[in-house]
Amino acid sequence: MLRLHYNLEKVSMGLVAAIMVAASIGGIVEIAPLFTIDETVTLPDDLRPHTPLELAGREIYVREGCYACHSQMVRSLADELDRYGPYSLAAESAYDHPMLWGSKRTGPDLARLGEKYSDAWHVAHLRDPRAVVPASIMPAYPWLGRPLDTRLLEAQLATLARLGVPYDDAMIANAEADALAQSRPASDGAAAVVARYGERIAMRAFDGDAERLTEMDAVVAYLQSLGTLTNAPYQIIGGGEQ
Q: Which of residues 187-216 bind another protein (CB under 8 A)?
A: none
- Per CB under 6 A, contacts with ligand HEC among 83-122 are 106-108, 110, 113, 116
Q: How far apart are CA 88 and CA 228, in angstroms?
A: 12
Q: Which residues contact 10 (CB under 8 A, 6 or more apart)?
A: none
- Per CB under 6 A, contacts with ligand HEC among 48-87 are 61, 64-66, 68-70
**Candidates 92-100, 115-123, 184-192, 203-211; binding stretch for another protein (CB under 8 A):** 92-100
- Per CB under 8 A, contacts with another protein among 18-77 are 19-20, 22-27, 29-31, 33-35, 37, 39-40, 59, 62-69, 71, 73, 75-77
- Nearest residue (CB) to ligand HEC, 172 versus 221: 221
Q: How far apart are CA 196 and CA 171, in angstroms?
A: 7
| Measured distance between the N- and C-terminal CA atoms of the chain, rounded to whole angstroms | 59
CA angle in degrees (0–180, nearest 5) for 170-174-217: 135
Q: How far apart are CA 118 and CA 78, in angstroms?
A: 27
Q: How far apart are CA 50 and CA 38, in angstroms?
A: 23
Binding characters for ligand HEC, 178-217, by CB under 6 A (x = yes): ----------------------------------------
Provide the 8-state DSSP code for 202: -
Position 173 contacts another protein (CB under 8 A): no
Q: Which residue is nearest to ligand HEC (CB)?
A: 107
**Candidates 131-139, 171-179, 191-199, 206-214; binding stretch for another protein (CB under 8 A):** 131-139
Position 101 contacts another protein (CB under 8 A): yes
- Is residue 12 within 8 Å of residue 20, measured between CB atoms? no
Query: Least separation, in Å, of the C-beta of 157 and another protein?
Result: 10
Q: Please report the sign of the dihedral spanned by the C-alpha atoms of residue 93, residue 99, residue 105, residue 106.
A: negative
Binding characters for ligand HEC, 123-152, by CB under 6 A (x = yes): ------x---x--xxxx-x-----------
How far from the centroid of its chain's Cα atoms is residue 225's Cα?
9
Position 137 contacts another protein (CB under 8 A): yes
